[in-house]
Structures are given as structure tokens and as C-alpha cells.
Amino acid sequence: MATEILMPALSPTMEEGTLAKWLVKEGDTVQSGDIMAEIETDKATMEFEAVDEGVIGKILIAEGTADVKVNTAIAILVEEGEDVPAASAATTQVPQPAAAVAEAAPAGGSLANSGNTAPLAPVKATPPWPEGTKTKKQTVREALRDAMAEEMRGDGDVFLMGEEVGEYQGAYKISQGLLDEFGSKRVIDTPITEHGFAGIGVGAAFGGLRPIVEFMTFNFAMQAIDQIINSAAKTLYMSGGQMGCPIVFRGPNGAAARVGAQHSQDYAAWYAHIPGLKVVMPYSASDAKGLLKSAIRDPNPVIFLENEILYGRSFDVPLIDDYTVPFGKARVWREGTDVTLVSFGIGMAHTLEAADKLAEQGISAEVIDLRTLRPLDTDTVIASVQKTNRCVTVEEGFPVGSIGNHISAVLMEQAFDYLDAPVINCTGKDVPMPYAANLEKHALITSDEVVAAVKQVTYR
Amino acid sequence: MAARKTTAKPNVSADELLAYYKDMLLIRRFEEKAGQLYGMGLIGGFCHLYIGQEAVVVGLEAAAEEGDKRITSYRDHGHMLACGMEPGGVMAELTGRIGGLSKGKGGSMHMFSKEKHFYGGHGIVGAQVPLGAGLAFADKYKDNGRVTFTYFGDGAANQGQVYEAFNMAALWDLPVIFVIENNQYAMGTAQKRSTSTPELYTRGEAFGIKGEVVDGMDVLAVKAAGEKAVKHCRAGKGPYILEIKTYRYRGHSMSDPAKYRTREEVQKMREERDPIDHVRDLLLTGKHATEDDLKTIDKDIKAVVSASADFARESPEPPLEELWTDIYAEV
């Protein structure tokens, strides 16, 4: 009986991949375990083995095809002497390339009548670079790599250390190509000893270098958090200003997909709590690049929180030499009049999606991406709330002691008279991350929850 | 305490012996004064005195060259004085005054000096060990021939991060000397109650790091061992471990009632093994100094310590603006 061979999921976050190469052709007989194709995922190029034996009846997806969605039929396997069924042969799917998120997101126009539920006309918002600047589409992953490479070219004291950053080319391919360009003196594979190498990084910073320490994920930085806080963050103060610590701790933070409680936590609020640290959590590729370059140049310890799910997303990145983004400056992604949505990192994806849904329902949301959590641009949030009189915060982390809690407190203290409704904090649920797909989905923040919160604060 | 080893002593001049005597005596008198000021309520919080251990740091400083780095734990006053940091600045930090080396914001456990290559003063047991390896990493990266002395105690020797640092220091041939100041008590826990194998100098064997045990009450033995270790590191052969057997006469901190050991044990050590008396004997029997010479030195050191205490009492408390400075370096 003919069976479809489906595009496999080869990493926790893989949604699509490139069918890099077929190693079999139509008419070939394959045994279980034979390598049939090479598939490039968001992390690496993997070999794809046959599970069943049979004859390759038809190849449905040509080699070199990018953006093939997981579970798309890529070939038909038939038994010896069997014909390829006509229906299957016709199932060839043309993959839809993943739409790049436009930096210039549509923004809702203002509502003259708050009772109006007609969809709002999209209005272009200005991207945060000069008009007429050329841009290119780039993934967050590529932007981060470019930021490191540019800074390493510019300053010989900058080096990268971490698990699998060198020969493996990065567990998430962020450091791809850096070993080749900079050599093993500056791209250093460490043993799996986070506490130790974080301490060595801090010591190297005391000694005059500018380390970039990659944690494979920030979950593992828990092993090293004493060195980050007690040694990196506090030494400038404890030394009366003598001994600074210019270091960047970076890596993916927050939930990936189906990796369970110990690998799925957002540490934004933890690090944002600490005076002496700077904390960055970018959403877009251009911010990832510009903020990482600023982080590497900063004379202070910087916690740079990336997100595995965002690594593969594409955004417009300006073609500007030495593009940097300053800390402490939030970015308004869309202007609006009915409610202020405040988010950062992957929370922005849910927030922008919610803003689109709200626009369809005639609600105009202003969307603010905090970008850095320490320093925190409360001025931009307050100015927006003075206009909209309502605020919903959106983040993936746990609810108690969240960034949203802090923003709410700031608004109560500094903009109380402008609030027409209590601020709502949309957060991840107050549970360890479950593994089951349905439970995990419920544990995470969704755009529908944001929409519901906005309706609550706008009394609709 | 291991029996005193009669290893070959380095040739040492009268001037050098006198310098060690002065340096050790300065630490002793300084710490005694700090203890007094603590009793008077002028020093707060934790205050860990180095009395009894003076030969360790003075011996190793004698083996160091300009530019070599040092980093240690919270029992750090001796290390700072030995590398030439101002006694007044150290004492004023203990009293929490603006004239202190950290402007009163660090305290007894947290002082630093870029000029003297002293990298603290760390309060979390064992945390300074990876930091010290990191300083050595920076020196190797810059290929500047410097060596880092990373001090920690027998208590810290049981921390996991110490072995993470050993592994990477050996893997990458970092020029770091791991100095285990074994004063035999991790706070109040005797070594035999905390440590499965007492030979701490062998703790690097699993990583291929050479180690040796040294009599820490004999400044010349410490210096000789230090020179050997420095030579090893400077030759690019990677890290070296020195387990230096020493003894602290005072409690772990000022608030330690010291019920975990007998008065007699401490008394015996003071009478038979005092590192300062040892050098004093060498000076007198070798006729390098007279009783009168030593009295003069004593008097001079008392004056230095007394001046540091005066400065520490007179220097004003930091102005309130200092609360909000030095949190971030200017971009």
C-alpha cells in the first residue's frame, strides 16, 4: 500500500524546513534506516532516514525547496510493483513561504466614537530609522550573529565563550561561522559547567576583556546566578566605582516548545530586579542586532534574553553601518487611542496579533515594546496611558512579581489620575510548564487573552 | 599540623627578612587594632581577622612580580596590606567612611585596587576561585606573562565551582596559582569533620594539576613554594596548587565564641609556631637585627596603625549622594 513520507519535525521549535537534498530518486528501493534526504532545520542540517521499506514511487517536493511545513507529504512510498496512486501524486503541496513580519506594522486609526466596532483602516507606522533607509529581511538568528561578528571585528578584547559555540557552530546556530572567522582563541567551547565558566567570564571582565558568555538557555544560568548577581552586578558598587564588569550574558530565555518545566521559564523579572545589571529582551531582528551591539559595548554587565521561537523569524533590518539601538528607549510599534499594550520579547508577537484582532473589532491599541527592562522606559508608557487611559501588559513569565506588576505600580504612582480602568497584567499561568501540548498551550499567554483583557479595561 | 619541613630554604638577605618581619607585624598590629575598633562599635557587621596566617600572604607576595594579580575571600585585610594598599584606606573602609578604599560602600569583605592588582574581597565562599581563573584567562589572552594568586580556604575547597575552575584552568593552561589557606577550620567545623580526604593539595590530581603542601607558619617556606609555583605558571605550564597549612588565632569572625576548639590548642600554636616569632628569632640569632632595632620597627608600625585608626575615625561617613553612585559605569 502506498504511504506518504511526511516532512519530519527535527527540533522542538521546527515548524518548517528546507529539503536540502534528496539522496534517493524515484524507483529506488529503500530499507528501514536508509538515509533518504538531508533536511535543514532552524538548528542544523539533519539526515532523514526511511522508517519503512519500499520503493520511492514519487518525489513530491523537489530538493532545494525551502519553507516546507512539518507534516507536508514529501514523497510517496509504494510496495514493489505497485503504481503510485493518482490521488497521492496530485497532493503535491506548494509550501507557503513564512511571511516576514513587516517592521512597519499597520496601526489603527483613532476612533471618534468609542461605540464604533467597524474595522479600523490600517495606517503605516514609521520604522525607527531614517526614512528612505534600505532594509533587508533577516532572521533574529542572523542578526544576532552579525552583531557579534561586527563587534568582534571592531574590538580584539571581545570574545565568545559557552557550550557548543565553536565547533558545533552554536546549539541554536547563533554563532555559526564565528569560529572560522575568529579562531579558537576568541570563540571558546566550554565544558558543561555554567557556574564555573560564568565566574571565569566575570574574572576575565575584571581583568580587562569584554566577554560574551552564551548560556545554551537561561534555564542553565540558574547554576551560575550567584556569579551573575553577586560578582558581576555588585562589584562596581562594592568597589566604590573602581572595578567594573563589562560582560554580556546571552542566550535563549522562556518557553521553547514541549520541552517541559525545567527548560521553559522566562527570567525577565528575575534579572530586572537587580540593580547593577542591565536587562535587554528584544523582539525584532533589528532590535536584536542593534541592542546586542550596544550590550557588547556597554561597560556594565548585561543580561541579553533571546527567544528560541523568535530565532527563525524574519524582520526588516536597516542597511546602516554600525547600527545600534540605545538602552532605555521603548519602541512604539503602532499608535492607537483606546488602550496601551505594553510588552517585550516574544510577548510582542502575541501583542501585535491581539492588536490586529482588536483593530478588526474597532478597538485602536497602541503597542509599546519595552526592549530593555533595565533601564526601563516608563516615560513612554506613561505618556501613552495619558492618551489612552487604559493599559494591559503582556509577558510570558509567571504572574507574581512580574514586569507587568512593576509597570502597574509605576502607573498607579505616576499616572493614577489618567487611568479609567485598573491595569491588567497578562502573564503566563502560575504553574510549572507542563509537557502535554494542550496544557502547555494553556499555560502560555495568548493573543485571545490579551483581547479579552483589553475588552475588560475598555468596558466592552 | 604537619611537622615543619626542613626543605631547602632560599637564600634570603637580611633586608628581605626584615621586610617580611615588618609586613607580617603590620598585619598583626592592624588586625589587633581592627579588633579593638570592632569592640568599640566603630566597625560593624562581619570582620574576619587574619591573625596567625600572616606568613602565607607575606611569603607569596615575596614571590610575586609587579603586575601579578591577587584575589581572595572575605578574610582579606592581610592580603591588601601585603600588596601595598594603604592601611588608612583599609581601616576607613572597615569603619564605613568616605576615606575607605570603597568609599565605605564595600566594607571589610569588599575592597579592590586596580593599581595594586587586588581584585577583592569576595563574600561568597569559593566564588573567587573561578573569578581568579578568569583573571588568569585574561592574562593568557593578552599573553602578558602575569600570574594570578587565587586564595581560598579549606572550607571553600569543598565547593563545586572550585573544581569547575580547576578543570578549565588545567584544560586551558591558565597561569593561576590556587592557594588553599588551610587554617583547619571552616568557620567552626574542623577539617576532619567536613572533608573526606584531608590532603587538599592532591585535589587537583584528577585534573592533572600539580600541588604541594607547605608549612604556612614559615614565611621562607611559603616564599620558596610560591617561587616554584610562579615559575611553573609563567612557563606556560598551567595552574598550580599550594596547600598552605596555617592557623587562625582568632575566631572565624568577631562574633565567634570559638567553642569548637580548646584554648590550649590555640595557645600551643601561638607559643610554638608563631610565624612572626619565627622570623624574629631568625633575625636575632642571625644577628641581622638587635632587640633595639626590632623595638624601633615595632614602634614605627604601631604609629602607622595608630594613624590608620585615627584616619578611620576622623574620615566622615559617605555623603548620602553616595547611595546612588557607582551602580552603573557611564556608557
The three state secondary structure string of B43-84 is CCCCCCCCCCCHHHHHHHHHHCCCCCEEEECCCCHHHHHHCC
Which residue of chain A is at minimal alpha-carbon distance from B167? A191
- What are the φ/ψ torsions at residue A444 (nearest 5 degrees)? -85, 160
For the segment A220-244, the average pLDDT, to the nearest whole number, is 97
Question: How far is Cα A326 from Cα A295, in angstroms, rounded to an integer?
Answer: 9
Regarding whether A261 and A180 lie in a shared domain, the answer is yes
Give residue A145's identity as a one-letter amino acid code.
Answer: R
Residue B328 near residue A237 (C-beta atoms within 8 A): no
Instruction: Please indicate whether, in this complex, the C-beta atoms of B141 and A237 are within 8 angstroms of each other.
Output: no
Question: How far is Cα A443 from Cα A436, in angstroms, rounded to an integer?
Answer: 10
Residue A197 in grid coordinates = 565558566
Burial level of B19, CB count in 10 A (0-12/13-18/19+)? middle
According to the model, what pLDDT value does residue A103 have?
A: 54
Domain assignment present for A99: no
Residue A93 has pLDDT above 70, yes or no: no
Show residues of chain A in contact with B164, CB under 8 Å: 191, 193, 195-197, 199
Strand order from edge to edge, sheet including A29-30? A3-6, A73-78, A54-59, A29-30
- CATH code, domain with A20: 2.40.50.100
Which residue of chain B is at minimal alpha-carbon distance from A210? B138
Examine the fold and report which residue of A294, A315, A336 is the final residue of a domain before the chain moves on.
Answer: A315
Domain assignment present for A90: no
Regarding whether A110 and A151 lie in a shared domain, the answer is no
Regarding whether A343 and A286 lie in a shared domain, the answer is no
Domain assignment present for A97: no
Question: How far is Cα B252 from Cα A230, in angstroms, rounded to an integer?
Answer: 22
Q: Smallest CA–CA separation between B134 and chain A, in Å?
A: 4
Cis geometry, peptide bond prior to residue A127 (ω within 30 degrees of 0): no
> Beta partners for A403?
none
Residue A326 has pLDDT above 60, yes or no: yes
* Separation of CA B211 from chain center: 19
* Neighbour count for residue A11 (Cβ, 10 Å): 16
Show residues of chain A in contact with B161, CB under 8 Å: 195-196, 199
- CATH code, domain with A382: 3.40.50.920
Question: How far is Cα A373 from Cα A284, in angstroms, rounded to an integer?
Answer: 15
Residue A382 has pLDDT above 90, yes or no: yes
Number of compact structural domains in chain A: 3
Instruction: Please indicate whether, in this complex, the C-beta atoms of B138 and A197 are within 8 angstroms of each other.
Output: no
Q: Which of B105, B141, B165 sits opposite A199 (nearest CB)?
A: B165
Q: Which of B106, B142, B168 sits opposite A240 (nearest CB)?
A: B106
Q: Among B182, B189, B174, which residue's Cα sits nearest to residue B152? A: B182
According to the model, what pLDDT value does residue A435 have?
A: 95
Residue A298 has pLDDT above 70, yes or no: yes
Q: What is the pLDDT of residues A50-74, one digit of tens each?
A: 888 899 999 999 999 999 999 999 9
Q: Can you give the residue range of the structural domain that contains A48?
A: 3-84
Question: How far is Cα B38 from Cα B171, in angstroms, rounded to an integer?
Answer: 44
Residue A108 near residue A365 (C-beta atoms within 8 A): yes
Regarding whether A123 and A52 lie in a shared domain, the answer is no
According to the model, what pLDDT value does residue A81 have?
A: 80
Residue A68 near residue A17 (C-beta atoms within 8 A): yes
pLDDT-based confidence at A199, cuts 50/70/90?
very high
Q: Smallest CA–CA separation between A360 and chain B, in Å?
A: 43
Show residues of chain A in contact with B139, CB under 8 Å: 207
Instruction: Please indicate whether, in this complex, the C-beta atoms of A227 and B325 are within 8 angstroms of each other.
Output: no
Show residues of chain A in contact with B327, CB under 8 Å: 236-237, 275-276
Give residue A1's identity as a one-letter amino acid code.
Answer: M
Regarding whether A142 and A124 lie in a shared domain, the answer is no
Q: Is A263 a catalytic residue?
A: yes
Beta strands in A216-338 (DSSP E): 247-252, 278-280, 301-306, 314-318, 331-334
Residue A394 in grid coordinates = 503582556
Question: How far is Cα B326 from Cα A333, in angstroms, rounded to an integer?
Answer: 34
Regarding whether A151 and A185 lie in a shared domain, the answer is yes
According to the model, what pLDDT value does residue B190 have?
A: 92
Instruction: Please indicate whether, in this complex, the C-beta atoms of A239 and B110 are within 8 angstroms of each other.
Output: yes
- Give the active site residue among A150, A163, A194, A306: A194
CB environment A186-208: b (16+ within 10 A), e (fewer): bbbebeebbbbbbbbbbbbbbbe
- DSSP letter, residue A368: E
Q: Is A150 a catalytic residue?
A: no
- Give the active site residue among A142, A163, A263, A396: A263
Domain ranges of chain B: 18-310
Q: Which residue has the cell 540558574?
A: A222
The CATH classification number of B18-310 equals: 3.40.50.970
Regarding whether A298 and A344 lie in a shared domain, the answer is no
Q: Smallest CA–CA separation between A222 and chain B, in Å?
A: 13
Domain assignment present for A100: no
Regarding whether A413 and A367 lie in a shared domain, the answer is yes
Q: What is the CA radius of gyration of chain B?
A: 19
The continuous run of DSSP H or E covering A373 comes out as: strand A372-374
Question: How far is Cα A206 from Cα B132, in angstroms, rounded to an integer?
Answer: 10
Regarding whether A338 and A288 lie in a shared domain, the answer is no
According to the model, what pLDDT value does residue A43 have?
A: 75
Regarding whether A310 and A333 lie in a shared domain, the answer is no
Question: Best residue in A194, A220, A231, A239 to probe B by mutation, most B CBs within 10 Å?
Answer: A239
Show residues of chain B in contact with A226, CB under 8 Å: 124, 127
Regarding whether A343 and A254 lie in a shared domain, the answer is no
Regarding whether A366 and A306 lie in a shared domain, the answer is no
Per-residue pLDDT of chain B (331 residues; tens, 9 = 90+): 444 444 445 578 999 999 999 999 999 999 999 999 999 999 999 999 999 999 999 999 999 999 999 999 999 999 999 999 999 999 999 999 999 999 999 999 999 999 999 999 999 999 999 999 999 999 999 999 999 999 999 999 999 999 999 999 999 999 999 999 999 999 999 999 999 999 999 999 999 999 999 999 999 999 999 999 999 999 999 999 999 999 999 988 888 888 899 999 999 999 999 999 999 999 999 999 999 999 999 999 999 999 999 999 999 999 999 999 999 999 9
| Average model confidence (pLDDT) across chain A | 92
According to the model, what pLDDT value does residue B5 have?
A: 45
* Neighbour count for residue B189 (Cβ, 10 Å): 16
